[in-house]
């Protein structure tokens, strides 16, 4: 009986996996160089962890189940809540700020579509313990640098939820949450209808609709003209000054709401071309979840990168795709093992496991896309050398093992240098529209 993979999941073949791991490791190198430490949380958690954060309505999107002890559990749909739970359980006494990152698979029971899967991978970063614009600016700059490492140039939009919350402060929490979700979805008609339904004051409607339309360099000053000089605007302006110091291009956009109740201040989203409607590759902001899980009023800021979407438009190849095949004869098979052992210190090597004839081995090397073959023949061994053949050009060289290793190191170095400069040449992206989250 043939069994297919579950809907919304994928199999990654060797070359796909090598490429994903290569990009993952490039991004890991960046985040570690910024001083962040990796954490790992369980693949499944108590269902309450996510209903506390997002409400009972999220259950329809989860892979939830009752375990053998009649406990309500779920596969994790994201990683921010598990990390905050971990902080409350394990790290409250740790020196602040805490700088953490994670890269794990998550699960959502939703309709699969381009760029959205039921099993997906999220690369996220959190700073716990700072409410300063310094932490917000570092988080944004780090996200941009991680995308750069993957060869992705994104369009950054930055907003400040505190401004909208200031306008909505006369409404009850439930009404504020509904308005935030409508703003996040850019549902202007739904927003007008809801404001009419709750009989919102005229000045609130006017100020809200004006604020969420503000974008561009003069957005902060225009916001001051509308609502006055509130502290949230001063902090936001300080954030922009820091982003300038990081030499980061950004678009001020007070229409970003993120649609989740726990976001409190700065919010940002990054869009990339090449993904169609699902063009958001990163989103985040400042929030307060820890008190929801019994850990006190501790500020946090962070982001999540949609790794699967990044891989759809990333054009960097992995160094690991360089392949070498050892070709031997019946009389040199044991010597070929020794040669392979030496070469595997620097490059992936394939040995013949089928006891094929010489020409069949050469054909195999060609079929799997080997870049080079190393021929271990009797004449070569008598001379203390091997033959290195470039499969693309057909050029052959009689070399010692040490010379082969040196040449392969040079090839890998040249290959890596090319990749380090492979940044996609995107056109101007100021017209990119907001779209759905990458997870």
Q: Which residue has the higher pLDDT, 432 or 105?
A: 105
Residue 164 maps to a domain: yes
Lowest-confidence pick of 127-141, 248-262, 344-358:
248-262
Residue 432 maps to a domain: no
Q: Is 50 exceeded by the pLDDT of residue 435?
A: no
pLDDT score of 424: 39
* Cα–Cα distance measured from residue 200 to residue 216, given in angstroms and rounded to the nearest whole number: 28
Q: Are residues 360 and 237 in the same domain?
A: no
pLDDT tens profile 205-229: 999 999 999 999 899 999 999 999 9
Tell me the pLDDT band of 417, cut-offs 50, 70 and 90.
low
pLDDT score of 49: 95
Tell me the pLDDT band of 277, cut-offs 50, 70 and 90.
low
Whichever domain contains 337, its CATH number is: 3.40.50.800
Lowest-confidence pick of 7-11, 187-191, 297-301:
187-191
Q: Are residues 274 and 395 in the same domain?
A: no
pLDDT score of 116: 81
Distances (CA, A) of 318 to 14, 234, 325, 359: 12, 44, 18, 29
pLDDT score of 395: 95
Residue 430 maps to a domain: no
CB within 8 Å of 147: residues ≥ 6 apart? 153, 154, 270, 272, 281, 282, 305, 310
Residue 435 maps to a domain: no
Q: Are residues 126 and 43 in the same domain?
A: yes
Q: Are residues 298 and 331 in the same domain?
A: no
Q: Is 50 exceeded by the pLDDT of residue 174?
A: yes
Tell me the pLDDT band of 92, cut-offs 50, 70 and 90.
very high
Q: Are residues 249 and 391 in the same domain?
A: no
Secondary structure (H, E, C), the chain: CCCCCCCCCCCCCHHHHHHHHHHHHHHHHHHHHCCCEECCCCCEEECHHHHHHHCHHHHHHCCEEECCCCCEEEECCCCHHHHHHHHHHHHCCCCCCEEEEEEEEEECCCCCECCECCEEEEEEEEEECCCCHHHHHHHHHHHHHHHHHCCCCCEEEEEEHHHHHHHHCCCCHHHHHHHHHHHHCCCHHHHHHHHHHCCCCHHHHHHHHHHCCCECCCHHHHHHHHHCCCHHHHHHHHHHHHHHHCCCCCEEECCCCCCCCCEEEEEEEEECCCCCCCCEEEEEEEECCHHHHCCCCCCEEEEEEEHHHHHHHCCCCCHHHCCEEEEECHHHHHHHHHHHHHHCCCCCEECCCCCCCHHHHHHHHHHCCCCEEEEECHHHHHCCCEEEEECCCCCEEEECHHHHHHHHHHHHHHHHHHHHCCCCCCCCCCCCCCCCCCC
What's the chain's average pLDDT? 90
* Cα–Cα distance measured from residue 84 to residue 292, given in angstroms and rounded to the nearest whole number: 9
Among the candidates 262, 286, 313, a domain finishes at 313
Residue 338 sits in which domain range?
322-420
Q: Are residues 208 and 72 in the same domain?
A: yes
Q: Are residues 249 and 210 in the same domain?
A: yes
Among the candidates 294, 313, 332, a domain finishes at 313
pLDDT tens profile 67-81: 999 999 999 999 999
Lowest-confidence pick of 15-24, 308-317, 375-384, 413-422:
413-422
Residue with tokens 């716990």: 128
Q: Are residues 308 and 327 in the same domain?
A: no
pLDDT score of 65: 97
Once rounded to an integer, what is the mean pLDDT over residues 114-139? 94
Lowest-confidence pick of 155-159, 175-179, 302-306:
175-179
Q: Are residues 88 and 219 in the same domain?
A: yes
Q: Are residues 399 and 256 in the same domain?
A: no
Q: Is 80 exceeded by the pLDDT of residue 115?
A: no
pTM: 0.85
Whichever domain contains 156, its CATH number is: 3.30.930.10
Among the candidates 281, 313, 345, a domain finishes at 313
Residue 98 maps to a domain: yes
Please work out, in degrees rounded to the nearest 5, the angle formed at the alpha carbon of residue 337 by the alpha carbons of 335 and 339.
Answer: 75
Number of domains in the chain: 2
pLDDT tens profile 309-339: 999 999 887 655 578 999 999 999 999 999 9
* Cα–Cα distance measured from residue 11 to residue 22, given in angstroms and rounded to the nearest whole number: 17
Q: Are residues 298 and 344 in the same domain?
A: no
pLDDT score of 418: 60
Distances (CA, A) of 43 to 14, 40, 111, 137: 24, 9, 21, 30
Residue 158 maps to a domain: yes
Tell me the pLDDT band of 248, cut-offs 50, 70 and 90.
very high
Residue 427 maps to a domain: no
Q: Are residues 185 and 271 in the same domain?
A: yes
Once rounded to an integer, what is the mean pLDDT over residues 282-306? 94
Residue 372 maps to a domain: yes
Once rounded to an integer, what is the mean pLDDT over residues 131-137? 96
Tell me the pLDDT band of 55, cut-offs 50, 70 and 90.
confident
pLDDT tens profile 185-198: 888 899 999 999 99
């Amino acid at each position: 009986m043939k069994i297919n993979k579950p809907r919304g999941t994928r199999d990654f073949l060797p070359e796909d996996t090598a490429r994903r791991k290569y990009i993952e490791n490039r991004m890991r190198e960046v985040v570690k160089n910024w001083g962040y430490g990796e954490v790992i949380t369980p693949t499944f958690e108590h269902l309450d962890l996510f209903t506390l954060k997002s409400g009972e309505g999220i259950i329809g999107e989860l892979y939830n189940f009752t375990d053998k002890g009649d406990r309500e559990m779920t596969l994790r749909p994201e990683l921010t809540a598990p990390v905050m739970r971990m902080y409350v359980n394990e790290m409250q006494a740790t020196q602040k700020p805490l700088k953490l990152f994670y890269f794990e698979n998550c699960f959502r029971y939703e309709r699969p579509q381009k760029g959205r899967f039921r099993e997906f991978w999220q690369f996220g970063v959190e700073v716990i313990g700072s409410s300063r614009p310094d932490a917000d600016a570092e988080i944004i700059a780090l996200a941009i640098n991680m995308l750069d490492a993957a060869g992705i140039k994104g369009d950054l939009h930055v907003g400040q939820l505190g401004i909208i919350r200031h306008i909505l402060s006369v409404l009850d929490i439930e009404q504020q949450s509904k308005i935030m979700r409508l703003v996040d979805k850019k549902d202007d008609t739904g927003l007008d209808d809801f404001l009419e339904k709750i009989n919102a004051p005229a000045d609130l409607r006017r100020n809200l609709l004006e604020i969420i339309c503000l974008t561009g360099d003069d957005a902060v000053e225009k916001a001051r003209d509308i609502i006055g000089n509130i502290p949230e605007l001063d902090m936001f302006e300080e954030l922009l000054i820091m982003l300038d110091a990081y030499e980061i291009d950004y678009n001020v956009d007070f229409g970003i709401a993120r649609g989740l109740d726990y976001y409190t201040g700065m919010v940002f989203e990054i869009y990339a071309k090449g993904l169609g409607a699902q063009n958001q590759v990163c989103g985040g902001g400042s929030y307060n979840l820890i008190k929801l899980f019994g850990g006190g009023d501790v500020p946090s800021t962070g982001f999540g990168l949609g790794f699967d979407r990044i891989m759809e438009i990333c054009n960097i190849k992995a160094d690991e795709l360089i392949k070498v095949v050892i070709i031997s004869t019946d009389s040199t098979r044991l010597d070929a093992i020794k040669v392979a052992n030496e070469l595997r210190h620097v490059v992936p090597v394939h040995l013949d496991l089928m006891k094929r004839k010489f020409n069949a081995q050469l054909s195999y090397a060609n079929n799997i896309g080997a870049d080079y073959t190393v021929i271990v023949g009797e004449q070569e061994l008598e001379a203390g050398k091997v033959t290195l053949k470039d499969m693309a050009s057909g050029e052959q060289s009689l070399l010692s093992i040490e010379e082969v290793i040196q040449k392969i190191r040079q090839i890998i170095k040249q290959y890596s240098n090319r990749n380090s400069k492979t940044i996609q040449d995107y056109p101007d992206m100021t017209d990119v529209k907001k779209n759905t989250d990458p997870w």
